[in-house]
Amino acid sequence: MRQRGFWVTLGIILLLFGTSGDAVTYPARRYQKTAFITAGIELKSSVETKQVQPGRIAMEEVLFESENPGPVEERKIPFKDAEDEFPETDMNMYESQTLTLMTFNIRSANDAGGSVELDRIIEEIREANADIIGLQEVERMMPRSGYQDQAKIIAEELGYYFYYGGNINILGVQYGNALLSRYPILRASNHKLPRVKLEPRGMIEAEINIDGLLLYVYVTHLGLNSVERYKQIDYINRIISQREENTVLLGDFNNHPDSGEMIMLDEHVLDSAAALNSSDHYTFAWQDNIPDVRIDRIYTSDNLILFHHEVKPSVVSDHSRVLTQIQLNIPGRGGI
């Protein structure tokens, strides 16, 4: 009993003093690489599901083993590829709309000197002017970040909907990923990914209503171990491959785009930077202060039209902001 108490105490102490840098859906007004040790503490694999309703938060937990993901409920998608599925005369029923996606590992809003700079992170996110944002290394009630609910604060400042997926959760202190959206999040859940090392990793799965069109968005942060990443990508692929189109995967993958495990991703999912000839837009400095690897990436289903990719450095995080613009055909907004 004493030995068990020692390990639990050690785990809590490590959490309270933070992790090494690796790198709730909230209806707002309108709408680092971590090597974390949880010694002696067993964290249960689960999927946390929350359905958004204006003015309140509902929570429901669904448990299953992370190696065997349950089926994702199929839902009818409002439109197919315009060129292949609709007669030319029907195109008046659709209107093109540009959507900006962003993935950003905020490193818990800690700058290189260890100061918490959440206000500056918020301004960097605001300046990017993205519509849908995936964040990694987001803290909730962590002592080292001043007990801030970082995802909620960011969402309230920007007027965005948000969902927080805490992958480490000890005594209400959380660390994980977040999804922010200018558009309503209809449903969201947090998958606990398979792991080999001690730090839990996760993936947010969400449905977002873009003016009548359902967009399926996933936000993740993979582990540092290659064997672990193989398991995690296999899990992710089995989830996203159940969606044939209108799919977006945002994340810090902690590997190169051509790493062996990435080959397992569904063939209908494209690396947006590679598709737009921007593979040399690096996002992270692996060994020195000059970015030389592209571990932060955006993947989209091949039915979405890609037309711009950009990387913006951060003065706070050691990761850059990665942005991709896509074009959607929104149903029911055309003329007579």
Q: What is the per-residue pLDDT across 6-42, written as a single tens digit (0 to 9) for each? A: 334 434 444 444 444 453 333 443 333 333 323 222 3
User: Helix 150-158 vs helix 118-128: angle between axes, to the nearest 10 degrees?
Assistant: 50
pLDDT of amino acid 92:
60
What's the whole-number mean pLDDT along residues 112-135? 97
Using 50, 70 and 90 to split pLDDT, how confident is the model at 264? Answer: very high
Q: What's the whole-number average pLDDT of the chain?
A: 79
200-258 pLDDT per residue, tens: 999 999 999 999 999 999 999 999 999 999 999 999 999 999 998 999 999 999 999 99
pLDDT (tens digit, 9 = 90+) per residue, 35-93? 332 322 233 334 444 444 333 232 233 222 334 443 333 333 233 333 334 334 355 67
Q: Given a cut of 80, is residue 260 above it in pLDDT?
A: yes
At 69-79, the pLDDT tens digits run: 433 333 332 33
In angstroms, how far is the first alpha carbon of the chain from the final one? 74
**pLDDT at position 291 over 90:** yes
All structural domains of the chain: 3-331 (3.60.10.10)
Rounded CA gap, 336 and 92, in Å? Answer: 8
Q: Say which residues have a Cβ less than 8 Å from residue 333's Cβ, sequence separation at least 6.
A: 94, 95, 211, 212
Q: Where are the beta strands (DSSP E) in 25-145?
A: 47-53, 56-62, 94-105, 132-140
State how far the alpha carbon of 29 is from the alpha carbons of 55, 111, 137, 217, 298, in Å.
Answer: 10, 29, 25, 21, 27
Rg of the chain, C-alpha, whole Å: 19
| pLDDT tens track for 157-212 | 999 999 999 999 999 999 999 999 999 999 999 999 999 988 999 999 999 999 99
Q: Return left, alpha or beta for 329; rule: phi > 0 is left, psi -120 to 50 is alpha, else beta.
A: beta
**247-252 and 296-301: which strand pairing?**
antiparallel
